[in-house]
Structure 1
């Protein structure tokens, strides 16, 4: 499947493993992409990566979130089937979790993110961005394909 020229333009600016994009868009696992740059370009390209994945549900979290806000935002990842009101609309199957400024996330949030990668009841794609890759411990970076 060929991508529009505009997507090829921004994609050519990032170094990534050839299968990374294919695996990210397959929706068969819990996968992540870490957009690591020396400036804020990782944050600005998040919408492009989301568009490539074409999710039917997007969750955005920020380092300033409280534990309660995190729980509310990520609740759908723990549900394996529709629960509650049937009028709530279609149950999402392609969930994209966006984590802004991963390097600023508190330790508890990184730990919770690790838990989602290891045990979430749902498959999802996580897109995170950082301009300080060296500040993110390796145990958390290991869940991501790093695009630099």
Structure 2
């Protein structure tokens, strides 16, 4: 029996031969604190299998920060559980006296929140009106040489 600890967010799936292989994550979360503002960035797919992780992170952040900005610009799939996660997170943050904003929701997120009638319940920050505290200086991207 292996004594290796599992890597957080990584699962193993069976292949056709029956062996196990690491499954690539479908959602990435990152968190950055700047003074009283905590920025949580979400990328990939938010669905039944992982929406609870977003709620847990936002619940922990809400206990420490009066303003929580959730960047949803890199979300490629957003199911009903994602909507529920954001509604629960908004409730948790406001119960603690904080404020939760959605920053630049991707078209997928915007569509789901609009169809479910929950979009109007959120403070939404668009790319054209980004508060100075949330702005970042872009980093230069240098293409890797061919073959590396």
Which structure is richer in relative contact order (CA contacts within 8 A, separation 6 or more)? 1
Work out whether the TM-score is over 0.5. Answer: no
**Structure with a larger share of its residues in strand:** 2
Which TM-score bucket, shorter chain as reference? 0.3 to 0.5
Return the TM-score normalized by structure 2. 0.40
**Structure with a larger share of its residues in helix:** 1
Return the TM-score normalized by structure 1. 0.40
